[in-house]
A and B are shown apart, each in its own frame.
Chain A
C-alpha cells in the first residue's frame, strides 16, 4: 500500500500568491482530513470529507482557504491569497470510515513557507 501521498513536499511562495496542496488518500479509504501543524497551535483540523462530501469545515481559518474532493482518490487545499501567517506544515490523512474508532493514516505533509 502506497500510503497517503501529498504533493509538493515543500512550497515556498510570496505573500499574495495562490498555493494549491494536493492529496491522494489510501485506496479504499472513504474519509479524508486536512490538518495544519504549527509550533504555537499544534495540530489543527481544517476540514474533513466523508465519501467526497465536506462534513465539517469549521476549522478553515477564513475565506482565503478552500478545499475540494472531486473524487475518492484526490483532494486539494487552496490558499488564495497566501499570507506569512499561513506558514505551517499541512497534513492530509485518510481513514476507513469516519466513525469514532477509525484511526487516521497521515501523509508526509507539505511544508509551506510564505515570505
Chain B
C-alpha cells in the first residue's frame, strides 16, 4: 500500500463550483499534512497545511483532516479557470526515534475548471 493515495482524476468542474479533492494515507503516526499545487511545467507550490483534526480555511481553500479515518481533503470554493492544475497531497511523519520528518507525496489529482 502506498503511503499516500489520491484519485488521479481528471476532475472537471465548471467555473464557480466547489472542487473537492481527496487523499488517504496509510501510517497513523503521520503528523502534518500539506496540499501543493503544480501548474503544468512548473514546480509544486504550497497552498495549505493542516496539523490537527477539523477544518482550516484560507480564502477560497478549506483543508479538512480526519486522523481517525486517515483522510485529508481540499475544497476549493468558487473555482476559477486559474485553479486548473495538479493538486498534490503530502504527508509528513517523523521516523521512529528521530526528530526529523520525511514528506511523502501522492501522485496528484488533475483539476480542470472550465469557464
Contact = CB atoms under 8 A, between A and B. Distances in A.
Interface of A: 31, 33, 42-43, 45, 48, 50, 55-56, 91, 98-109
Interface stretch (B14-22, B58-66, B69-77, B105-113): B105-113
Given A42-B106, A42-B108, A43-B105, A106 B44 contact: yes
A50 B43 CA distance: 22
A107 B101 CA distance: 20
Given A42-B108, A43-B88, A109-B43, A104 B99 contact: no
Interface string B41-57: 01111100101000000
Contacts, number: 55
B51 A101 contact: yes
Nearest to B102: A56
Given A100-B93, A101-B92, 8 more contacts: A48-B102, A91-B43, A98-B100, A99-B99, A99-B100, A103-B49, A106-B44, A106-B45
Nearest to B31: A100
Contacts of A50: 100
A100 B92 contact: yes
A102 B108 contact: no
A12 to B, nearest CB: 17
